[in-house]
Structure 1
Amino acid sequence: MPPPPFWRAGLQLAEVRWATSALALFLAGWFFQSVAAPVAVWWTAYLACYLIGGWKPALSGVRAAFQDKTLDVDLLMIVAAVAAASIGQVFDGALLIVIFATSGALEVVVTQRTADSVNSLLDLAPEQAGLVAADGTVRVVETKDLEPGQRILIRPGERIGADGTVIDGVSEVDQQAVTGEFAPVVRRTGDEVLSGTVNGTGALVVEVTRPASESVVARIVALVDEASGTTAKTQLFIEKVEQAYSFGVVVATLLVLLVPMVLFEQSFADALLRAIVFMIVASPCAVVLSTMPPLLASIANAGRHGVLVKSAAAMEAMARTSVVAFDKTGTLTEGVPEVVGVTTESTWTESAVIAKAAAVEAYSEHPLGRAIAHAAVAACVGSPAAVDFQAMPGRGVTGVVDGRRVTVERADEGSATTGTVVVVRVDGERAGTITLVDRVRPGAATVVREMRALAPHGVLLLTGDNESAARSVADETGIADVHAGLLPEDKAVIVSDLGRRGEHVLLVGDGVNDAPALAVAGTGVAMGRRGSDLAIDTADVVVVRDDLSAVSCLVRLSTRAHRYVVANLCIAAAVIAVLVGWDLVATLPLPLAVAGHEGSTVIVALNGARLLRRSAWRS
C-alpha cells in the first residue's frame, strides 16, 4: 500500500526544508567569509550546512557500504567534504553538500508528485455502477467487482464504470480524457464505450467486456508505472560508472597515503596532506559544476519564457532529439470547437441561422452548443429565449423560438471532411448548416517546420481522433506521417518502438491519454494551461503558457547547452589531470591546488552562465 497523502506531503516538505536550510547556511557562511567576519562565525555556518544537508547522503552512503557492500558518489562526496574541512577548505565541502541536498529534494518531490498523479487517475473510473439484473432491476455494485458479460446502466451525466459494448440506448459520450477527441461522439447499439468517459444526455445499457483490472484507465496506470521502471533501468550504467569512479578514487587515495610512507619513508603528516590534496583535486566536484551551470542556466532562461524543465537531465536530453511526435487535440489545436462557417437555405441569412441555433443551444451543456452560443455573442447576434427545450440523445437539441420549432442536430458523420457539421431546421425545414472545427493553433505550421529541421528523422502526428480530423490538421501544419484513432497504449507502443530502434523521441501532448507515451518518450513535453495533471506530472517539460513555439526554442537552447557542457567537461578534465599529475609526481602546494581547482570551477560556471542571456533563447 502506498503511504497516505499527508505522509507523502510531509516527506516532501521535510526534504525541501533540509535543502533550503543547507543552502541558506551556505550563503550565510559565504557572506560572513567575504566580509572578513570572525573565522568562528563563518565556520559555524558552514559546519551547520554540513550537518543539515549532509546527514542523509552520509547515512545513505554508510548503508550502501555496510549493507550492500558498495561505494557510491554520495559517500565519496561526504568524505571529500569532510577532508576539505579538515585542511581548512570548508567552503569547497559545503558547496558539495548543497548540490547533493538540493538534487535529492528535487528528486523526491518530482517522484512523489508523479506517483500521486498516477494514483489519482483511477478516480476517472467511478467506484460504483448500476448492475442490471436478469429481471430488469438495477442495484448498485462496486465497479471493481464487475465481470465480463454483466450489464450496467449508465444514466445521463454519469461516468462509465467499465469498458464495454452498448446493447441499448443512444447518447453522446465525452471521450476526450481518454482518446483526445475534441467533441463528444455518438454511441449506440454495438458501439464500444470506455471506462472513465462521461455519458451525455441519453441512457445507455452496456455489456461489460473487460474486468476493471484490464480497463483502459487501469492500463494507462500500468503503462506509466512500467515506463517509469524502464526509465529507472537506464540509469544502471550511470550507477556502474559512479561505483567504479568512487572505488577508484578511494583506492588511489589510500595508495597516495601509504606508498610514500612505505617506499620513501615519508612522514604520516606529509603523506596525509598529499592524500587529502589528491582527494580534493580528484573529486568530481569540478565535473559536477562543469555540467550543471550550462544546464541550470538554460533551465532558468526557459523559465523566464514560460517553460518549466524539471531536471538538468531533461534539458540535456533534448539535444539528442531525432524524432518529434505531436498530439493533435489541445496541442497542435486549441482543443475546443469553434464555428468556422455557416451555410443558408432559401431566404435565411447567416445571422438568422446562428441566432435560432444559439437560442436553443443556450440551454445545452454540449461543447458544440457552447461554441454556437459563443459565436452568436461574438457576432453581436441577438438570441431570443427558447421554450419547451428538449435534448435528443445522440442527435442534438430542439426548442421553440418565437413560436417556431427549431432543431439543431449533428449531420451524418460522413458528410464532413474537415470538421463537425450541425443542421439547423425551423418547423422541419432546413434553414442552414453550421460547421465547427478544432482550430489549429496560430504558428503551429511554423513550429512543425522548425522541428522538422531540428529532428533529422521526421515529425509524426499521434491522435485518438478520427482519420478525417487528423488528416485535416496534418495537411494544415505540414505533417506527412499521421497515426489516427489511437488508444493511449497505442501511442506508447509507437513511441517505444521508435526508442528501441535508437531514436530519441520528443513527444508533445496534453491529455491523460498522452501520459503513457510521455512516460516512455526520450523527452515528454506537456502543454500546461489545459493539460491534465497526469500529463503535466509525467512529462519532463511543461510549456506553462501553451506557447507551441517554445518547443523549438527549447530544443535549440538544449543543443547550445550540450556544446557548453562538452567544453566545460574538457576544461575540468584537463585541470583535474594536471593537478592530479602534479600532486603525484611532485609536491602540489595546497593553496595552488585550491586555486587551480576553484579557478576551473569559476571558469566553467561563468561559461555556463552565458546561457542566461535572453539572446540565447531565440538564437
Structure 2
Amino acid sequence: MQYHIEGMDCASCVSKIEKALVRMPGVSNVQLNFATQKLELTLAPDTATETRDIESTIKRLGFGVSDLADQQHNGSSAGNQAAINDQRWWQSIKGRQVIGIGILMSLAYGLSLIFPEYGAWAFIAAVIIGVLPFARKAFALMSTGTPFSIEMLMSVAAIGALIIGEAEEAAAVVFLFSVGELLERVAADRARAGIRALSSLVPKTAILLDAQGQQHQVPATSLQVNDKVLVRPGDRVSADGTIMEGVSSLDESPVTGESVPVVKSVDDEVFAGSINVYGVLQVRVEKTAADNTIARIIELVEQAQASKAPTARFIEKFSRYYTPAVMAIAALVIIVPPLALGGEWATWLYRGLALLLIACPCALVLSTPAAIASGLAVGARRGLLIKGGNVMELVGKVTTVAFDKTGTLTEGKPRVTDVVGFTKEYTDAKGQDKLLALFASVDSISSHPLAKAIVECAIAAKVAIFDATNASATAGKAVHATVTGRFLTIGSPVYITERTTLSATQQMQIETLQNEGKTVSILFDEQKGETLGLVALRDELREDALQAIALLNKMNVRSVMLTGDNSRTAKALASQLDIEWEAELLPEDKLRLLSAMQENTKIAMIGDGINDAPALATADVGIAMGSGTDVAIETADIALLKSCVMDVANLIALSRATMRNIHQNVVFALGLKGVFLITTMFGITGLWIAVLADTGATVLVTLNALRLLRFKGTS
C-alpha cells in the first residue's frame, strides 16, 4: 500500500508515524520518505486491521493522508501533490492555526489593557484554546509509542507556566511554537522543491501523429511505445524515443545537466524533457511516461533519499537517549535546588519547564537527512545520479579513483589521426585522399570499429568510396577486397610483415605512431606485392580528462588507469594524463588489483556500466559513465549522466560539501541547545527563548541544508 502524507516538517515526524504503524496488527515493511512524503507498507490480508484504521491513526497524529493508488486512478498523483505543496502558507492547516492563535493572543492582550483585573484570565483562556490541538496530538503520539514528543513537552511547559502564574509567557510559548512549526513547514517545502521541479520538466501534452500524418494533441501520459509524435522548435520532447525524421539541436540540460545543446538526427535517441532548439522532429516513442529517463531518475532519487546515511542512523540512536537525558536533568533542576538548597519551587519549576522545551531533538535529527536530500537533489540537477545517503557519505571519503580507459577516460570511438603514403603516388595531399579512398572502399564491407572509423573519416573528407568485390577476411588479422580492379588487403603491421618486407623508414614510422598510443593499419597491393601506405587511429581522450585528473590530484585523490588494452597504448595515454596505469588486464586482474588497493584506501571504480560490472561491484563505490542509458543508471552506485570525467571531481566535491554541511548542522543544533541549557539553568533565559532555541535551531539547520542547492561544482 502507498500513501501520500501531508504535514511532515522534520525527520522526527517519520519516526512518529513509523512507531505508530508498526504497533498495529498485520502492518509490516513500513517505509516513510520524509523528502517525498511517500509512505509504503504491507498489510496482511488476514488481519483485523483495515485501511481505514491506518488512515485514522495517521490523522490522529496530526498528519494528512491520501491513498496514492486513488490519486493515480483519478489523475496525476504528481499533479495532486504539487497542488498541495503549492499552497500559500496561510492556506495550510498550520498557517490557519498560527493566524487563529495570533488572533486569540491579540484579543487576550487587548482585554488585559482594557480590563487589567481580567487580563490574566484572558491569557489563560487563550493558552487553553491554543494548546488544545497540540495536547490532543501529544496524547495521540503517547498512545502510539512516542511519549517524549515536542508537542508533549510544549504542552506540559505551557500548562506548567499557567500553574505558576506565568500566563502571558505561556501564551508566548504557544504562539512562538506555532510560528516555529509553520516556518519548519515552509523550509521543508523549499527542500522538496528540487525533486518536484524534475517532474515538471516533461510536458503535459504531446502532438500525436496518426497513420495518415494528422496531428492530435493528447496527454503525454497516454503515449504508447511505437507511437509517432511531432516535436516543434521550442517544444519539450514529450517522451523518450528515436528520431525518425528531421535534424535539430537539443538542449538536454534538464535531463543530463549538459549545458551545450547536442545536434541530433535520424536514429539518434532523445530524452523526454529535452528542449528542441530549431528543427522539426518526428520521434518514435520508445518508453512510456512511467518509464522514461526523468521518471526513472526521480524514482531513483526518491529511493536514495529514503535510505539513511550512517551519520543519520547514529544521530537517530543518539537522539533516543538525548531527550530522556535532558528531561531527567529538567526533573533534577525542579526538585534538587528547592529540597537541597532551599530554592523557591516556582523559580525552579519555571526553569525546569524551560529545559523541557530544549529537550526536543528535532533539529538534531533533521541535521543529516536535510543536507543529504539537498545534496541528492542538486546532484540530480547536475547529472550526478547518487543512489542513497550512504553512497553520498562514502564517496567523499574516497582517496583513490580507478578509471577504465575505453569509453571512460577516452571517448570510446576510434578516430583517424594520420594518413601516410609509402609510394610517390600517395605522399602529397591529393595522394593521401586517394589512399584514404582505397582504405575506406576495402573497409566498407567490414563491421569492425576501426573499419567504421576509416569509412566515417572518408565520408567527412568527401572522398569517393568505390565498390568492393570479392570481399573476404582473415579472422582477427586482415580484410581483403577487389577495388577498381586491384586486389587489396588491409592488415596489422604484424600480418603485413608476414607477406612482405617493410623498409627501415616504414618500420620507424609505424613504431613512432604506436608509441603515441595509435593503432596502425597497412594497405597492401597483393598483385604488385607492395605496401601503399598506412592509416593510424586512436581512441582520443575526452576533452575534460586532463583537467579532471589534475583537479583530483589537487584534492589529494590518487588516480589509476586500469585497462585491458596493450601496454604501449596505455603508457602513451597515461603519460598525457600524468596518471598511474596498469595494462593488459583481464576482468579478474582488475578485481585482484582493486581488492589489493582496498586494504589501504577507500576506492571508487569508474567504468562504462556494461563490461565493468564486476569491478564496479567490487569497489567501495561503483560509478558508471553513460548518458542516461539503462545499464549505466542500473549498474552502479552512481551514474554520471553527462559522461564527463570532470564530474568525478564534482561528485567528490559535492559529497565533501554535504558532509561539511552535516557537521555544521550538528554543531548548530547541539550548540544552540547547549547554550540555552546553561542560560536557562542560571535563570538568564526563559520559556519563550527556549521555544526559539528549539524552532530556531530546526529552521537554521534546514536553511543551512538548502545552501547546498547553490552548489556550482568544481568546473
Q: TM-score, normalised by structure 1?
A: 0.59
Q: Which residue in 2 is equivalent to 1:617?
A: 713
Cα displacement string for residues 240-280 of structure 1 (whole angstroms, at most 9, x for unaligned residues)? 66435414534654785799689989xxxx99999997676
SS at match of 2:462: coil
Q: Which residue in 1 is equivalent to 2:269?
A: none
Q: Which residue in 1 is equivalent to 2:201?
A: none
Return the offset for 1:431.
Answer: 1.9
- For 1:81 and 1:370, locate their aligned partners in 2 and report how far apart those are by CA, in whole Å: 70
Higher alpha-carbon deviation: 32-41 or 559-568? 32-41
Higher alpha-carbon deviation: 11-20 or 516-525? 11-20
User: Is the 2:187–2:699 Cα contact (8 Å) retained in structure 1?
Assistant: no
Q: 2:576 aligns with which of 470, 473, 476?
A: 476
Q: 2:548 aligns with which of 447, 453, 462?
A: 447
User: Is the 1:362–1:373 Cα contact (8 Å) retained in structure 2?
Assistant: yes
Distance 1:275 1:486, change over 3 A: farther
Distance 1:351 1:280, change over 3 A: farther
- For 1:381 and 1:545, locate their aligned partners in 2 and report how far apart those are by CA, in whole Å: 34
Distance 1:239 1:496, change over 3 A: farther
Q: Does 1:546 align with 2:643?
A: yes
Q: Which residue in 1 is equivalent to 2:270?
A: none
Q: Does 1:600 align with 2:705?
A: no
Q: 1:426 aligns with which of 475, 500, 525?
A: 525
Distance 1:554 1:497, change over 3 A: same
User: Is the 1:30–1:91 Cα contact (8 Å) retained in structure 2?
Assistant: no
- For 2:449 and 2:704, locate their aligned partners in 1 and report how far apart those are by CA, in whole Å: 51
SS at match of 1:600: helix
Cα displacement string for residues 5-42 of structure 1 (whole angstroms, at most 9, x for unaligned residues)? xxxxxx99975886978887566484524995477999
Q: How many residues align?
A: 449
Q: Which residue in 1 is equivalent to 2:397?
A: 320
Higher alpha-carbon deviation: 238-247 or 331-340? 238-247
Q: Which residue in 1 is equivalent to 2:384?
A: 307
Cα displacement string for residues 196-225 of structure 1 (whole angstroms, at most 9, x for unaligned residues)? xxxxxxxxxxxxxxxxxxxxxxxxxxxxxx
SS at match of 2:414: strand
- For 1:239 and 1:560, locate their aligned partners in 2 and report how far apart those are by CA, in whole Å: 20
Equivalences for residues 431-510 of structure 1 within 5 A: 431-455=532-556, 458-482=558-582, 484-487=584-587, 489-501=588-600, 503-510=601-608
Return the offset for 1:565.
Answer: 3.2
Q: 1:32 aligns with which of 91, 101, 114?
A: 91
Higher alpha-carbon deviation: 590-599 or 244-253? 244-253
Cα displacement string for residues 294-320 of structure 1 (whole angstroms, at most 9, x for unaligned residues)? 554454444444333344444444443
- For 2:615 and 2:420, locate their aligned partners in 1 and report how far apart those are by CA, in whole Å: 40
Distance 1:241 1:303, change over 3 A: closer
Q: Which residue in 2 is equivalent to 1:228?
A: none
Q: Which residue in 2 is equivalent to 1:387?
A: 469
- For 1:382 and 1:362, locate their aligned partners in 2 and report how far apart those are by CA, in whole Å: 12
Distance 1:24 1:317, change over 3 A: farther
Q: Does 1:514 align with 2:612?
A: yes
Distance 1:532 1:23, change over 3 A: closer
Q: TM-score, normalised by structure 2?
A: 0.52
SS at match of 1:617: coil
Q: Does 1:378 align with 2:460?
A: yes
Cα displacement string for residues 33-91 of structure 1 (whole angstroms, at most 9, x for unaligned residues)? 4995477999xxxxxxxxxxx9xxx9xx98xx9xxxxxxxxx799x5578779989578
* Amino acid paired to 1:327: D
- For 2:657 and 2:310, locate their aligned partners in 1 and report how far apart those are by CA, in whole Å: 27
Higher alpha-carbon deviation: 383-392 or 587-596? 587-596
Q: Does 1:354 align with 2:431?
A: no
* Amino acid paired to 1:539: A
Structure 1 unaligned regions, length at least 5? 1-10, 43-53, 66-74, 107-233
Cα displacement string for residues 371-404 of structure 1 (whole angstroms, at most 9, x for unaligned residues)? 1110101111110222333343323332222222
User: Is the 1:287–1:573 Cα contact (8 Å) retained in structure 2?
Assistant: yes
Return the offset for 1:335.
Answer: 0.9
- For 2:348 and 2:397, locate their aligned partners in 1 and report how far apart those are by CA, in whole Å: 45
Q: Which residue in 2 is equivalent to 1:286?
A: 363
The structure with more radius of gyration: 2
User: Is the 1:257–1:274 Cα contact (8 Å) retained in structure 2?
Assistant: no
Q: Which residue in 2 is equivalent to 1:337?
A: 414
- For 2:390 and 2:579, locate their aligned partners in 1 and report how far apart those are by CA, in whole Å: 29
* Amino acid paired to 2:404: D
Distance 1:552 1:354, change over 3 A: same
Q: Which residue in 2 is equivalent to 1:246?
A: 320
Return the offset for 1:538.
Answer: 4.2
SS at match of 1:412: helix
Q: Which residue in 2 is equivalent to 1:568?
A: 665
Distance 1:547 1:240, change over 3 A: closer
* Amino acid paired to 1:617: G
Structure 2 unaligned regions, length at least 5? 1-32, 41-66, 69-76, 102-136, 157-173, 196-307, 340-346, 498-510
Identical aligned residues as a percent: 28
* Amino acid paired to 1:518: L
Distance 1:81 1:433, change over 3 A: farther
What CA RMSD, in Å, does the superposition of the two structures yield over aligned residues?
A: 5.0
Distance 1:584 1:373, change over 3 A: same
Distance 1:289 1:466, change over 3 A: same
Distance 1:282 1:471, change over 3 A: farther
User: Is the 1:84–1:90 Cα contact (8 Å) retained in structure 2?
Assistant: no
- For 1:28 and 1:83, locate their aligned partners in 2 and report how far apart those are by CA, in whole Å: 29
- For 2:405 and 2:714, locate their aligned partners in 1 and report how far apart those are by CA, in whole Å: 25
Return the offset for 1:562.
Answer: 3.6
Return the offset for 1:593.
Answer: 3.0
SS at match of 1:431: strand
Cα displacement string for residues 384-429 of structure 1 (whole angstroms, at most 9, x for unaligned residues)? 2223333433233322222222322334389745232222223443
User: Is the 1:22–1:98 Cα contact (8 Å) retained in structure 2?
Assistant: no
- For 2:662 and 2:321, locate their aligned partners in 1 and report how far apart those are by CA, in whole Å: 25
SS at match of 1:320: coil
Higher alpha-carbon deviation: 234-243 or 367-376? 234-243
- For 2:82 and 2:688, locate their aligned partners in 1 and report how far apart those are by CA, in whole Å: 26
User: Is the 2:546–2:577 Cα contact (8 Å) retained in structure 1?
Assistant: yes
- For 2:375 and 2:671, locate their aligned partners in 1 and report how far apart those are by CA, in whole Å: 24
Return the offset for 1:356.
Answer: 1.6
* Amino acid paired to 1:479: I
Distance 1:557 1:242, change over 3 A: closer
Return the offset for 1:329.
Answer: 0.9
* Amino acid paired to 2:580: A
- For 2:611 and 2:155, locate their aligned partners in 1 and report how far apart those are by CA, in whole Å: 52
User: Is the 1:301–1:617 Cα contact (8 Å) retained in structure 2?
Assistant: no
Return the offset for 1:452.
Answer: 1.2
User: Is the 1:84–1:93 Cα contact (8 Å) retained in structure 2?
Assistant: no
User: Is the 2:312–2:365 Cα contact (8 Å) retained in structure 1?
Assistant: no
Distance 1:25 1:597, change over 3 A: farther
